Amino acid sequence: MPETDPLRAVVLISGGGSTLENLAARIADQRLRGVRIVGAICSREGVGGIEVARRHGIPIELIPRTQFPDDDTFSNAITDVVRRMNAEIVLMAGFLSFWRIPADFVARVLNIHPALLPAFGGRGMYAARVHRAVLAAGESHSGCTVHVADNEYDHGPILAQRRVPVLPGDTPESLAQRVGEQERELYPLVIQAIADRGRSALPIMPDLLRHALPQS
């Protein structure tokens, strides 16, 4: 496959799909180049992200986590589809289930989390729960983190972060909005840096990639 062919990305979702929407829109208007979303996998039925994929003509497979007895059988099902879609990188985008990443995808999976990891991360910490915890802790700042996903929730090497202030009177919703604005910039920026380095620079080497990223 010539280097000029876009990187083949599969996106994992479980919810509204705002992250998928942002990435698909930026690829469509060429703000994000050198990567193509060849498919999406959703781990929950009846969520908005399924329609987002369809609207963008992205092949979507539904692998409902509730239909599997345990993380291993679910993970195997996800892996089968990721391989069948011939993914080179995998982008978690509001993905709320546990995928045990197989050896052939180690350091090829990214995640974005709506807080400044390692704080306010881990199993069960997602969406409004994160922002409620940040407010309850009286933090002066929050933000978002893009990291290489490994086999622990919100744990792998951090690639980039963006900080936002927590303002007086903030609610989980107002903080989510401010963090979300930064997420919509940061995830495409990291993915663009990976695409620019080309498939020969995969699996991701965090230290090298960080040098290619503006440190906020």
Q: Which is nearer to ligand GRF, 149 or 209 (CB)?
A: 149
**Distance in Å, CB of 4 to ligand GRF, minimum:** 29
Q: Which is nearer to ligand GRF, 19 or 142 (CB)?
A: 19
Is residue 147 part of the annotated active site? The answer reads no
For residues 67 and 201, give the distance between their C-alpha atoms in angstroms, rounded to a whole number.
36
Q: Which is nearer to ligand GRF, 8 or 113 (CB)?
A: 113
For residues 205 and 63, give the distance between their C-alpha atoms in angstroms, rounded to a whole number.
30
Q: Which of 113, 131, 155, 211 is catalytic?
A: 113
**Distance in Å, CB of 141 to ligand GRF, minimum:** 16
**Distance in Å, CB of 21 to ligand GRF, minimum:** 7
The CA dihedral of 198, 78, 146, 214, to the nearest 10 degrees, is 10
Q: Which is nearer to ligand GRF, 117 or 195 (CB)?
A: 117
Q: Which two tokens stand for residue 117?
A: 């990891």
Residue at shortest CB range from ligand GRF: 94
Looking at the DSSP assignment, which residues form a beta bridge with residue 161?
145
Q: Is 138 exposed, middle or buried (0-12, 13-18, 19+ CB in 10 A)?
A: exposed
Those residues with Cβ within 8 angstroms of residue 14's Cβ, 6 or more apart along the chain or in another chain? 42, 43, 44, 47, 49, 65, 94, 95, 96, 97
**Distance in Å, CB of 15 to ligand GRF, minimum:** 3
Looking at the DSSP assignment, which residues form a beta bridge with residue 62?
42
Q: Which is nearer to ligand GRF, 115 or 193 (CB)?
A: 115
Half-sphere exposure of 61 (CA within 13 A, CB side): 17
Instruction: Using CB under 6 A, list all residues that contact ligand GRF.
Output: 13, 15-20, 49, 93-94, 112-114, 127, 144, 183
**Distance in Å, CB of 2 to ligand GRF, minimum:** 32
Just list the catalytic residues.
Answer: 113
